[in-house]
């Protein structure tokens, strides 16, 4: 659906080699919008923003954590939780008229579970080392059942009126009759029977810890493992009206914990007994309690999953989050699962096995439990504990403040366009602000509305937009056109190459065919919208070949905008004032020329870089740099005073060599056309423009021709000879 837009944007980016072309900052994915600040907006996994369900705080009981919530047939809400330290566990009530009070207090850390029977009687379970209390409308409470368990995690009533209680740290399910007589109904062979729900056939659906099992237990106590989750703790289970089972799993399994076999059903206990017969297997060592009981426990790592189990038993993961921890599940009026999470208070809705929506964020840290009724979702939170109501109405308006866009340089802003999805009703109002520091401060511009669709904020390096949605508006893409101010290129360095070498001719011009386009893998996040810094000139150049009289130069040049550059090279004598053009419109970062057309002497060159290929003529800029003085020397040295004299069977040869501009590099001699042999100056070092040479050769009978050859440092040579008889 959004793929054509993404492909078009990528194609534009691939073909955009010129900095002053209009570019686009696009936000169209969930990851793009998540970088911004959302207020009263929902965000789907496809990247669509809509108004969030209305969130209303019903009661703040001044409790650190609320862990459970239930609603009776009269519309009264009951929530339970506890504080820290010596605080008592509390059960609070909000009646149908909205009047709230603390209904009962208990000597425990927290009320962890609440259940309401068919007569609207309220049952509250405390932990740790807790009990199940029945609480009447006046707040009077009495112990209804004591499971003699460390933790009571969940409770649910069956159609028969029996109350089932999920406990830890022996992983037992207790069944209690309406009269209060109860016993162990089922042992899971797990440390914790962590979550519990009852389906339409009165089967128990149980989630465990630490093996992450989801079991179905029949009213007769027959069990079957529906799914062993990759996560260790099944924190919540909910059965949909159509029989689908949803389960939330959290935590990383300890490697030493092996998958368990199917659970063993318990024999029916005698009435009034406290526990059934023991299993014949040794109990598993109890790990630390799950972290949902107390804030001081170690945080859960590994994120969360939600699994859906079909009526035929097929299980699959339908939601995952690497950070948020799922605590609660419920269904809205359309049967869609909702997920309450921590530690950012996010509430999610599963729309399909492939998509979901982050509906809203509740200010407290955790959304710990749900109760659905009358099209509304009631929720309780932890840190700080509150009772809230969500939906079904939508908020009247919501806003997104985008993340800050860094254009990379001083930039002009153009048109802001957006896509409103399929629903065109409602309205979206955009505002922008800009600045030259990387986070909005007082010295940014103020928020300004668009002017006929164009951004009115002043040109700057950074930009941020704010969109306000009302009605049924949808927002799934924002495109902002921008153009960076052109910056002049810089020639950083010039190097004169060795004399008598030349560069190869320039390569043929590149084809005008657009470059190849490589798409990212489907579903992968696109690269950041911000512009990466252009690559610096590496200074590399091709190999040079020997060519007498040639000389060259190479240079480093860069452009902050990443513009394509063209160069002009000029030359003048050091005592001259007029530049002579050597070559214009050079695309390479090097050039060589025939120096024999210039008189010997010292010269400088000037390299001018222009970004004209990437800019309109009126906006093109240039930068230049002059080289250090260099020498052109094409005149050979002079040889004088060549003479040879016979003495003692040897021929003593001497001569003088000089050069007006450069140092004498070497001298050689040849006897009667033989090989050239090196000869050192009398000073031994070839380090001067003038040198004297003396050497001796064997004297043979007859005439002897001795040739001498001198080369200066620019490879200019002179030859002379003497004949000795």
pLDDT tens figures, 305-355 = 999 999 999 999 999 999 999 999 999 999 999 999 998 999 999 999 899
Q: What is the pLDDT of residues 152-165, one digit of tens each?
A: 999 999 999 999 99
Least confident of 181-190, 559-568, 654-663, 704-713: 559-568
Query: Which of 641, 551, 636, 628 is closest to 596 using CA atoms?
Result: 551
Q: What is the pTM of this model?
A: 0.75
Query: Which of 291, 352, 356, 294 is closest to 321 using CA atoms?
Result: 356
CA dihedral for 434, 435, 437, 441, sign (positive or negative): negative
Q: Domain of 684: which CATH number?
A: 2.60.40.650
Task: Tell me the C-alpha distance between 266 and 186, whole Å.
Answer: 5
Number of domains in the chain: 4
Structural domain includes residue 310: no
Same domain (yes/no): 702, 623: no
What are the residues whose beta carbons fall under 8 Å from the beta carbon of 514, sequence distance 6 or more?
A: 14, 15
Q: Which of 605, 632, 659 is the last residue of a domain?
A: 632
Structural domain includes residue 599: yes
| Structure token digits, residue 248 | 């939330």
Q: Domain of 28: which CATH number?
A: 2.60.120
Q: What is the mean pLDDT of residues 543-560?
A: 95
Same domain (yes/no): 698, 715: yes
Which residue's entry shows tokens 């009213």? 219
Structural domain includes residue 63: no
Write down the mean pLDDT value for the chain: 88
Structural domain includes residue 287: no
pLDDT bracket for residue 409 (50, 70, 90): confident
Structural domain includes residue 233: yes
pLDDT bracket for residue 532 (50, 70, 90): low
**DSSP conformation class of 367:** E
Q: What is the pLDDT of residues 573-617, one digit of tens each?
A: 999 999 999 999 999 999 999 999 999 999 999 999 999 998 889
Ramachandran quadrant class, 139 (left: phi over 0; alpha: psi -120 to 50; beta: rest): left
Q: What is the mean pLDDT of residues 164-191?
A: 95
Q: Domain of 238: which CATH number?
A: 2.120.10.30
Structural domain including 143 reads 70-279+359-393
Same domain (yes/no): 97, 142: yes
Check pLDDT > 90 for residue 193: yes
Same domain (yes/no): 135, 225: yes
Percent of the chain with pLDDT strictly greater than 90: 76
For residue 288, count CB atoms less than 10 angstroms from its CB and return exposed for 0-12, middle for 13-18, buried for 19 or more.
Answer: exposed
Same domain (yes/no): 401, 385: no
Q: From the CB of residue 675, how many other CB atoms can be counted at a distance below 10 Å? A: 8
Cα–Cα separations (whole angstroms), residue 464 to 28, 469, 533 = 15, 17, 21
Least confident of 137-146, 269-278, 471-480: 269-278
Same domain (yes/no): 718, 679: yes
Structural domain includes residue 320: no
Do the Cβ atoms of 67 and 80 come closer than 8 Å? Answer: yes
Q: Beta partners for 471?
A: none
CA dihedral for 296, 302, 306, 308, sign (positive or negative): negative
pLDDT at position 511 is 61
Q: Which of 393, 412, 441 is the last residue of a domain?
A: 393
Q: What is the mean pLDDT of residues 205-219?
A: 97
Same domain (yes/no): 81, 177: yes
> Beta strands 460-470 and 545-546: pairing type?
unpaired
Task: Tell me the C-alpha distance between 204 and 162, whole Å.
Answer: 12
Do the Cβ atoms of 553 and 591 come closer than 8 Å? Answer: yes
Structural domain includes residue 338: no
Q: Which of 345, 378, 393 is the last residue of a domain?
A: 393
Same domain (yes/no): 568, 657: no
Q: From the CB of residue 685, how many other CB atoms can be counted at a distance below 10 Å? A: 8
Structural domain includes residue 313: no
Strands, E assignment, 420-459: 427-435, 448-449
Same domain (yes/no): 546, 610: yes
Q: Domain of 603: which CATH number?
A: 2.60.40.10
Same domain (yes/no): 466, 549: no
Least confident of 123-132, 280-289, 368-377, 697-706: 280-289
Check pLDDT > 90 for residue 422: no
Same domain (yes/no): 218, 154: yes
Q: What is the mean pLDDT of residues 442-461?
A: 95
pLDDT at position 189 is 93
Same domain (yes/no): 227, 364: yes
Q: What is the pLDDT of residues 696-709, one digit of tens each?
A: 999 877 899 999 99
């Amino acid at each position: 659906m959004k793929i054509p837009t993404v492909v078009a944007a990528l194609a534009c980016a691939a073909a955009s080699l010129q900095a002053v072309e209009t570019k686009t900052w696009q936000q169209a994915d969930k990851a793009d919008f998540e970088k911004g600040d959302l207020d009263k907006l929902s965000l789907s996994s496809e990247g669509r923003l809509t108004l969030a369900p209305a969130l209303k705080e019903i009661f703040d009981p001044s409790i650190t954590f609320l862990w459970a919530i239930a609603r009776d047939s009269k519309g009264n809400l009951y929530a339970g939780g506890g504080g820290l330290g010596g605080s008592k566990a509390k059960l609070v009530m909000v009646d149908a008229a909205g009047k709230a009070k603390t209904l009962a207090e208990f000597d425990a850390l927290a009320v962890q579970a609440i259940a309401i029977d068919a007569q609207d009687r309220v049952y509250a379970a405390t932990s740790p080392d807790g009990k199940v209390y029945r609480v009447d409308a006046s707040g009077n409470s009495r112990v209804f059942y004591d499971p003699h368990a460390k933790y009571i995690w969940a409770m649910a009533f069956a159609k028969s009126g029996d109350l089932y209680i999920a406990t830890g740290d022996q992983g037992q399910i207790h069944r209690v009759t309406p009269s209060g007589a109860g016993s162990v109904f089922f042992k899971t062979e797990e440390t914790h029977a962590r979550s519990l729900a009852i389906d339409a056939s009165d089967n128990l659906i149980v989630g465990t810890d630490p093996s992450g099992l989801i079991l179905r237990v029949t009213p007769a106590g027959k069990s079957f493992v529906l799914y062993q989750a990759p996560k260790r703790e099944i924190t919540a289970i909910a059965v949909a009206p159509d029989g689908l089972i949803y389960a939330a799993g959290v935590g990383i399994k300890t490697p030493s914990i092996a998958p368990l076999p199917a659970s063993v059903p318990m024999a029916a206990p005698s009435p009034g007994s406290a526990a059934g017969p023991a299993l014949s297997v040794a109990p598993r060592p109890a790990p630390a309690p799950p972290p949902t009981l107390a804030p001081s426990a170690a945080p859960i790592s590994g994120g969360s999953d939600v699994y859906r189990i079909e009526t035929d038993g097929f299980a699959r993961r339908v939601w995952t989050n690497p950070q948020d921890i799922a605590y609660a599940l419920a269904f809205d009026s359309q049967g869609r699962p909702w997920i309450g999470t921590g530690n950012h208070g996010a509430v999610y809705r599963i729309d399909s096995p492939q998509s979901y929506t982050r509906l809203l964020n509740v200010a407290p840290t955790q959304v710990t439990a749900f109760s659905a009724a009358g099209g509304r979702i009631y929720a309780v939170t932890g840190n700080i504990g509150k009772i809230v109501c969500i939906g079904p109405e939508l908020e009247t308006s919501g806003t997104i403040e985008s993340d800050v866009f860094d254009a990379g340089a001083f930039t002009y802003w153009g048109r802001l366009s957006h896509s409103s999805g399929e629903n065109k009703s409602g309205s979206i109002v955009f505002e922008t602000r800009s600045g030259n520091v990387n986070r909005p401060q007082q010295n940014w511009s103020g928020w300004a509305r668009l002017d006929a669709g164009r951004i009115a904020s002043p040109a700057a390096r950074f930009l941020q937009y704010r969109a306000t949605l009302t009605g049924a508006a949808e927002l799934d893409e924002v495109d902002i056109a921008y153009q960076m101010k052109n910056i002049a290129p810089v020639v950083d360095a010039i190097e004169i190459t060795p004399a008598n070498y030349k560069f190869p001719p320039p390569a043929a011009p590149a084809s005008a065919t657009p470059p190849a386009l490589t798409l990212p893998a489907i579903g992968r996040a696109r690269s950041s919208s911000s512009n990466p810094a252009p690559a610096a000139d590496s200074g590399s150049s091709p190999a040079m070949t020997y060519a007498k009289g040639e000389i060259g130069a190479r240079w480093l040049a860069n452009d902050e905008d990443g513009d394509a550059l063209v160069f002009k090279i000029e030359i003048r004598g050091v005592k001259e004032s007029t530049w002579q053009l050597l070559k214009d419109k050079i695309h390479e970062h090097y050039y060589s020329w025939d120096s024999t057309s210039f008189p010997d002497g010292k010269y400088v060159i000037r390299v001018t870089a222009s970004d004209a290929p990437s800019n309109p003529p009126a906006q093109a800029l240039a930068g230049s740099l002059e080289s250090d003085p260099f020498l052109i020397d094409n005149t050979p040295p002079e040889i004088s005073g060549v003479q040879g004299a016979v003495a003692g069977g040897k021929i003593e040869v001497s001569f003088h060599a000089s050069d007006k501009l450069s140092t004498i590099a070497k001298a050689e001699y040849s006897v009667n056309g033989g090989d050239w042999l090196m000869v050192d100056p009398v000073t031994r070092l070839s380090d001067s423009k003038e040198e004297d040479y003396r050497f001796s050769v064997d004297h043979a009978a007859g005439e002897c021709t001795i040739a001498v050859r001198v080369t200066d440092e620019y490879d200019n040579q002179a030859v002379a000879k003497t004949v000795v008889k």
